[in-house]
Structure 1
């Protein structure tokens, strides 16, 4: 299990994230239209997975907004914002904010969180996803992984962008 922190208290996750150099494990998420999509749908593209606990928190919302801004300037790159929020909540948030450059994906009815070792096992956020960023190249190889050390802080956007170079 990996460890992150929530308000400076250690929190275990359900497993380990993929490592740099690994082939990205397949995943299934549910889009705002309630249709499932998978990693295979983005074959030949770079992928940025922005994973977070809930879009209804300030830090999570800020990360979705920031990745939406960054995605506007990225070619051949799918930026997927994933959480255990319901697809309708993700759609409502992105619609209200005018966010059109990211793809919202819900772990609702999928094993995404467990498969990626990101389900929080303790704290008041138990059952939600840890904050993490995974960057994948066009060949499906993991180029960058960040399990954010403190859930209440934003990820390192510059490191994620650097991995795309």
Structure 2
């Protein structure tokens, strides 16, 4: 199984986050190219609680993991993907969709951690 690199992204308070911050826990990370402030507004508007969002605005996450859209009007954004990690950061489930309007199979992803 593949392991992810330790550095990831920025929290909503702009502090850097790494996989070490989630040590010993299975995890589904919510990472996007949106600025942290936009992520906070989105979660508030949608009533999303108990979900930590992470931003790639100062990191190479998209490039490192092959999820940055390289061409089209969406260049620079991240494609939709879901990655579930074990407590030791081994990838348990990964899915990247071909079309940004499509969603990954969240049910299959959640089955790996429930």
Q: TM-score, normalised by structure 2?
A: 0.92
Q: What is the alpha-carbon distance in structure 1 between the residues aligned to residue 112 and residue 104 of structure 2?
A: 14
Higher relative contact order, structure no. (Cα contacts within 8 Å, ≥ 6 residues apart): 1
1:132-155 CA-partner distances (Å, limit 9, x unpaired): 001111121101110112211111
Is 2:6 the counterpart of 1:26?
yes
Q: Which runs of 5+ in 2 are unaligned?
A: none
Match of 1:12 in 2: none
Is 2:43 the counterpart of 1:94?
yes
Q: What is the alpha-carbon distance in structure 2 between the residues aligned to residue 115 and residue 160 of structure 1?
A: 21
Q: Which runs of 5+ in 1 are unaligned?
A: 1-20, 49-79
The CA deviation at 1:131 is 0.6
1:8-57 CA-partner distances (Å, limit 9, x unpaired): xxxxxxxxxxxxx1122223211111111111100001111xxxxxxxxx
Match of 2:106 in 1: 157
CA RMSD of aligned residues (A): 1.3
Aligned equivalent of 1:46, options 22, 26, 47:
26
Match of 1:119 in 2: 68
Match of 2:53 in 1: 104
How many residues are matched? 114
Q: What is the alpha-carbon distance in structure 1 between the residues aligned to residue 69 and residue 94 of structure 2?
A: 17
